[in-house]
Amino acid sequence: MNAQATVAAKPSGAKRALRFVLPVIVFAAGLLAWELVVRIKDIPPYVLPAPSVIFLTLIKDWAVLSQSLAATLLTTLEGFVAASIGGIAMALLFNQSKWVEASLFPYAVVLQVTPVIAIAPLLLIYLEQQTAVVVCAFIVAFFPVLSNTTLGLNSVDRNLAGLFQLYGASPQQTLRFLKLPAALPYILGGLRIAGGLSLIGAVVAEIAAGTAGAGSGLAYRIAESGYRLNIPRMFAALLLLSLAGIVIYGVLALVSHLVLRRWHESALGKDN
Amino acid sequence: MSSVKTTAGVETGLTALAVSLRGVTKAYDNGVMALGPLDLAVRKGEFISLLGPSGCGKSTALRLIAELSAPSSGVVRLARQESKAQPGHVQPGHFQPGHGIGFVFQEPTLMPWTSVRENVRLPLRLAGVPKADARARADEALASVGLVDFAEAFPRELSGGMKMRVSLARALVTDPDILLMDEPFAALDEITRFRLNNDLLALWRRLGKTVIFVTHSVFESVYLSQRVVVMSARPGRIQADIRIETVEPRGEGFRTSAAYSDYCRTVSAALAPSYSGQSTL
């Protein structure tokens, strides 16, 4: 019976491994093809650099690129934290009063639907450059936190709300013991979206800002390298941005999983 | 809504009555009458069932008693410990809600994000009872429903019947005088329901609470209660008030006795007008 169980378990284990291995194989194959095409056709690096050249550039320019990476990540983090606090706080405010929600919600939507690339130049006129960049990241990331938290606060089980009423819970108690825990999965979902969006907001604002200096981020490096036709460095910076996005998403997904794993459907295995 | 003038008269009545509804009605916002006028008196320590078709307002009546909603007219009165201590200060409808009442909903209504013990401790936590004391009382309540080993478990790890027991323990943790139960076992399978019926009866005998039990099962109402109040629909009114008398304590023997089936027949007959007439569904 044990043997049977192992046999039965094996395909699913293999399947899981395949899910992980297949994208890696595709990635490796893509890189190989790219490398081969560049070498065989003898394409110059300023037209299309080979992956090996990009990798070497990454190492060679690490001093410049790592500084830019740190600048971009700091902007992203500041924008993300501001959007998280602002979005949750505003959702709580909306939840307290229908009138506040009715008065302010349309403007939150306006902020969301206006392309940030169009707002950025204006912000750069009125604000200091670093502040303007953070504000852009905030604007892009703010709305998903707000709307998800609002949705979560409004999805409280009706009977549980009745129970709290029955036991004479104060508004603060209801918020702390009922509404916030019930909204937590939604809030975490909003934060997961906001993490990636604040990186996008930061990059867009950096490109719009376009000023050189010690604090220039990765997006600025890309623009600058473009002007200089330093194509390998453009690719290297792009690679770093992409990796940063993946790490941000991964960290937030992990946090969400750890917080919810004991009770929420989204974090439970399918067989449970 | 009501004046204080009846206080003295009610005070004498309250020594025997746990709940009294007089001329209570409830209208929906659109003006349609959902309930009443309803007159109902429940003695202390009594186990009564409200039985009726869906839409007869039995759950509404329960919510009125729990003060989860206010009657459109009429008076709902509850006897509580506080009212005996200082009768002059008691205004109907202005009690500190919750202390005298335990409520069990149709669904277990547990907080999925926290443990069974924390769920049971909730009413005490909301009342500001110190943590150590509250934990001890929560464990005691869990023991009374036979779930003390599951205190650390999360609700999703429990079966439907066990969740309902947790819900019952939570209703008992404040040691209320009155236990209101809104079709608590309706969603359970029959075998689990029978077991919980017996457990509930044992608890009631031991703790001597007043129980108002809403159900749409004739068999459940007769098995459990001392009085079955049959209600009709639209608007919800009392159709019949049938006393179930048998040798106490009841057990599985009662479920198969001739007296039990006689009572079931009587109650069914009282219920008949609400489903034999033209369909309102």
Bridge partners of residue B76, in order along the sequence: B21
pLDDT, tens digit (0-9, with 9 covering 90-100), for A23-32: 999 999 999 9
A168, A177, A184 member nearest B97 (Cβ):
A168
Q: Is B3 a residue whose pLDDT tops 50?
A: no
* Pairing label, strands B210-215, B47-51: parallel
pLDDT, tens digit (0-9, with 9 covering 90-100), for B118-152: 999 999 999 888 989 899 999 999 998 888 899 99
Q: Is B94 a residue whose pLDDT tops 60?
A: no
Q: Which of B113, B114, B118, B121 to mutate to test the interface with A (most CBs of A within 10 A)?
A: B113
Query: Does A266 contact chain B (CB < 8 Å)?
Result: no
**Do A177 and B156 lie within an 8 Å CB cutoff?**
no
Q: Which residues of B touch A184 (CB under 8 A)?
A: 113
* CA distance, residue B195 to nearest chain A CA (Å): 25
**Do A264 and B68 lie within an 8 Å CB cutoff?**
no
* CA distance, residue B163 to nearest chain A CA (Å): 14
CB count within 10 Å of CB A109 equals 13
Closest residue in B to A182 (Cα) is: B113
Q: Is the pTM of this model over 0.90?
A: no
DSSP symbol at B115: -
* CA distance, residue B123 to nearest chain A CA (Å): 6
* Pairing label, strands B17-27, B237-243: unpaired
| pLDDT value of residue B276 | 64
Burial A53-72 (b: 16+ CB within 10 A, else e): bbbebbeebeebbebbbebb
Closest residue in B to A167 (Cα) is: B98
Residue A249 Cα distances to A143, A154, A243, A254, angstroms: 17, 26, 10, 8
Q: Is B280 a residue whose pLDDT tops 80?
A: no
Query: What average pLDDT does range A244-261 have in this prediction?
Result: 92
| pLDDT value of residue B82 | 44
CA distance B92 to B210: 19
A181, A264, A272 member nearest B111 (Cβ):
A181
> Are the C-beta atoms of residues A202 and A145 closer than 8 Å to each other?
no
pLDDT band at B238 (very low <50, low <70, confident <90, very high): confident
Query: Does A155 contact chain B (CB < 8 Å)?
Result: no
Q: Is A87 a residue whose pLDDT tops 90?
A: yes
**Do A166 and B156 lie within an 8 Å CB cutoff?**
no
Q: Which residues of A touch B63 (CB under 8 A)?
A: 162
Maximum C-alpha span of chain B: 58
List CB contacts of A50: < 8 A, sequence separation 6 or more.
A34, A35, A38, A39
CA distance A20 to B168: 47
* CA distance, residue B147 to nearest chain A CA (Å): 19
Query: Does B113 contact chain A (CB < 8 Å)?
Result: yes
Q: Which residues of B touch A188 (CB under 8 A)?
A: none
CA distance B57 to B135: 37
> Are the C-beta atoms of residues A248 and A199 closer than 8 Å to each other?
yes
pLDDT band at A33 (very low <50, low <70, confident <90, very high): very high
Q: Which residues of B touch A167 (CB under 8 A)?
A: 97-98, 122-123, 126-127, 174
Q: Please, what is the average pLDDT of chain A?
A: 88
CA distance A149 to A236: 37
| pLDDT value of residue A96 | 86
| pLDDT value of residue A56 | 95
CA distance A187 to A147: 9
Q: Which candidate, B73, B66, B79, places its Cα nearest to that of B16?
A: B79
> Are the C-beta atoms of residues B226 and B46 closer than 8 Å to each other?
yes
pLDDT, tens digit (0-9, with 9 covering 90-100), for A182-223: 999 999 999 999 999 999 999 998 888 876 444 688 998 898
CA distance B271 to B269: 5
- Under 8 Å CB pairs connecting chains A and B tally to 61
User: Which H or E element spans position B123?
Assistant: helix B116-126
User: Which H or E element spans position B137?
Assistant: helix B131-144
Q: Please, what is the average pLDDT of chain B?
A: 81
| pLDDT value of residue B277 | 56
Query: Does A258 contact chain B (CB < 8 Å)?
Result: no
Query: Does B95 contact chain A (CB < 8 Å)?
Result: no
**Do B123 and A167 lie within an 8 Å CB cutoff?**
yes
> Are the C-beta atoms of residues A235 and A51 closer than 8 Å to each other?
no
- DSSP calls for B52-111: --TTSSHHHHHHHHTTSS--SEEEEEE--HHHHH-GGG--TT-S-TTTTEEEE-SS----
- DSSP calls for chain A: -HHHHHHHHHHHHHHHHHHHHHHHHHHHHHHHHHHHHHHHHT--TTT---HHHHHHHHHHTHHHHHHHHHHHHHHHHHHHHHHHHHHHHHHHHHHH-HHHHHHHHHHHHHHHHS-HHHHHHHHHHHS-HHHHHHHHHHHHHHHHHHHHHHHHHTT--HHHHHHHHHTT--HHHIIIIIIHHHHHHHHHHHHHHHHHHHHHHHHHHHHHH---STT--HHHHHHHHHHTT-HHHHHHHHHHHHHHHHHHHHHHHHHHHHHHTTT-GGGS-TT-
